[in-house]
Structure 1
C-alpha cells in the first residue's frame, strides 16, 4: 500500500430495511449492520487541512442510509452491491470493501454477513 493512502472505516452503521424473500421479511423491516472500508490517496488533504481535498465520509454515510432505509431488497447480495457502489463512486477511491450483517438470519448464529470488494 502507498504511504499516502488513507483508510476511512464506517463501523457498525445500524439501519433498518426490508430485506429477504420470506413473507415475514417482506412485511417487516429488519436490522442490518453496515461496515465499509474506503481507501483513497489523501496526501493533499493531509497537507492542506482543506475539506475540498478529502473524501467526505458524512456525505457517503448519508447516501448509504437513504439507500438502505428507503428501499426493499430481496437479496443481501444486491443490497451489499448497491452500498459498495456508493462507497466506491468517487473517482479518488482506489479500493473499497462493504460487509453487511443480517442479525438473527439463522437460528443458531448471531448473524449472516456478505462482503463485496471494489478495486480500481
Structure 2
C-alpha cells in the first residue's frame, strides 16, 4: 500500500498539539499597592489541541488553527488589563483560547516570577475541554 494511501486513512486521527512556551508579558497583577501601581512580569505557557486533519491534508493556513492570532489576542488582553488574582488571569487567558471553535482542549499555566521569597515563581494552571 502506498504511503499516501496510508496517510489518507489516518487523517481523521490527526490531533495536533500546539505548545506556546514561555510567552513573557508585563501586566498589572496582584493586591499589594506596589503590584497595583507597577507592571510585573508573567510567563504564560499554553497547550492547545485541535483536529488538524484538514491542515495536514491541504497544507493551507486557512485549514489550521492560527496560533499567531491566538497569541496576539492573549498579548493584547493581558497587557491592557489589570488582575488581582493569578487564578482570574489564567481563567481569562484560557477563555480566550477556548473562544476559537477549532480548539478541543486547552491548558494554561501562568507563572508570576519572584512572587515568593526563595522561589523562582508561583504558577496557576487551569484546563478546559469541549470533549465529553
Whole-angstrom CA distance in 1 between matches of 2:121 and 2:13: 35
Answer with 1 or 2: which has the greater Rg: 2
Query: What is the root-mean-square deviation in Å for CA atoms of aligned residues?
Result: 0.9
TM-score by length of 2: 0.88
Q: What residue number does 1:28 align with?
A: 38
TM-score by length of 1: 0.97
Which structure 2 residue ranges, 5 or more long, are not aligned? 1-11
Whole-angstrom CA distance in 1 between matches of 2:104 and 2:84: 29
For residues 69-116 of structure 1, what are the alpha-carbon distances to aligned partners after superposition, in whole Å with 9 as ceiling and x for unaligned? 000000001100010011111111111000000000000100000000
Paired residues in the alignment total 119
Q: What residue number does 2:19 align with?
A: 9
Which structure 1 residue ranges, 5 or more long, are not aligned? none
Moved over 2 A (4+): none
| SS state at 2:103 partner | coil
